[in-house]
């Protein structure tokens, strides 16, 4: 659990850092805003599944007008994941969760694998966001785990 908690702390930190970088860049790139919103919504989708709720109410690829609403989503996600993780016992990490994806296809996945998906999915897309920032001649954001660990 210690490793997962630490990795989740990195996720909260990295989400905040990438938002700061986007705000500083003053980007108006709609695809980039859609991508960062996707990360926030995907976190909500997986948490909803972990909680035994459906996730069809979430739309993963909507456009975003500004970063304020996305920041609120990330903050709420962090708060809700902290509550979930604090209540999670290590013995439940291998518990299987039944859920349907956004297309209604049923799946069964362990809590551990779902949490790892959340962590790796966000990092993957933060890399894409950083690449897009570089293409726009903006400064990419340092979100590597080791940077977080050195704090």
- Please name the residues in contact with 106: beta carbons below 8 A apart, sequence gap of 6 or more: 98, 99, 100
pLDDT at 104: 93
Domains of the chain, CATH where assigned: 2-149 (1.20.120.450)
Per-residue pLDDT tens digits of the chain, which is 151 residues long:
999 999 999 999 999 999 999 999 999 899 999 999 999 999 999 999 999 998 989 999 999 878 999 999 999 999 999 999 999 999 999 999 999 999 999 999 999 999 999 999 999 999 999 999 999 988 999 999 999 999 9
Query: Residue for token digits 């905040």?
Result: 16
**Global pTM?**
0.95
Closest CA to 109 of 60, 46, 58: 46
pLDDT at 66: 86
The CA-to-CA distance between both ends of the chain, in Å, stands at 21
pLDDT at 85: 97
């Amino acid at each position: 659990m210690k490793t997962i908690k630490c990795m989740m702390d990195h996720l909260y930190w990295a989400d905040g850092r990438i938002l700061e970088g986007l705000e500083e860049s003053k980007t108006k790139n709609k695809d980039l805003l859609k991508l960062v919103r996707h990360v926030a919504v995907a976190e909500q989708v997986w948490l909803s599944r972990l909680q035994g709720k459906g996730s069809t109410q979430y739309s993963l690829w909507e456009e975003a007008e500004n970063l304020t609403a996305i920041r609120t989503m990330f903050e709420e996600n962090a708060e809700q994941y902290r509550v979930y993780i604090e209540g999670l016992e290590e013995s439940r990490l291998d518990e299987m969760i039944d859920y349907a994806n956004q297309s209604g296809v049923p799946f069964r996945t362990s809590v551990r694998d779902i949490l790892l998906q959340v962590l790796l999915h966000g990092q993957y897309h933060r890399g894409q966001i950083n690449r897009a920032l570089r293409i726009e001649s903006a400064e990419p954001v340092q979100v590597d785990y080791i940077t977080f660990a050195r704090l």
